[in-house]
Amino acid sequence: MRTRNLILFIGLITSITIFSPQTTLGQACSGHWVSNRPLTFQCISGQQIGINNNYLDPSGCPINPLYLATQTNTFIFNNPVNDFFIDFNAFDCTSPGCPRLQIKINGITYPVSPSNLVDLPSGNCSGSTSFLSITSDGYITTAVAQSNGQGRLVFSGVNASSITLSTNDGSGGMVVANPCFEPLPIQIKTFKGYASGNCEVNLAFESGIESNVRNIEVEGSFDGAVFLKLLELFPLGSDSRYTIQCKSEGRNFYRLKINDLDGSFSYSEIIRINNNCTSSTIRISPNPSAEKIWVENIQRDDQLIIVDVLGREVFRQLVKSSSLEINIQNLPTGLYFLKVFRKNSSVDTAKFLKS
Phi/psi region, residue 298 (left: phi>0; alpha: psi -120 to 50; beta: rest), is beta
Phi, psi (degrees; rounded to nearest 5) at 40: -125, 130
Beta bridge partners of 88: 151, 175
Strand 283-285 to 271-275 pairing = unpaired
DSSP state of 43: T
Spatial CA neighbour of 152 closest among 119, 180, 107: 119
The answer to whether 218 and 258 are in contact (CB under 8 A) is no
Query: pLDDT value at position 278?
Result: 62
Determine the 3-state secondary structure of 157 from DSSP: coil
Taking the C-alpha atoms of residue 158 and residue 153, their distance in angstroms, rounded to an integer, is 13
Arithmetic mean of pLDDT, 200-218 = 75
Taking the C-alpha atoms of residue 234 and residue 6, their distance in angstroms, rounded to an integer, is 12
Determine the 3-state secondary structure of 48 from DSSP: strand
The pLDDT-based confidence of 302 (bands split at 50, 70, 90) is confident
The answer to whether 182 and 146 are in contact (CB under 8 A) is no
Burial of 257: CB neighbours in 10 Å, binned 0-12, 13-18, 19+: middle
The pLDDT-based confidence of 10 (bands split at 50, 70, 90) is very low
Query: pLDDT value at position 178?
Result: 54
Q: What confidence tens digit (pLDDT) does each residue in 78-123 have? A: 888 877 888 888 877 778 888 899 999 999 999 998 888 887 765 5
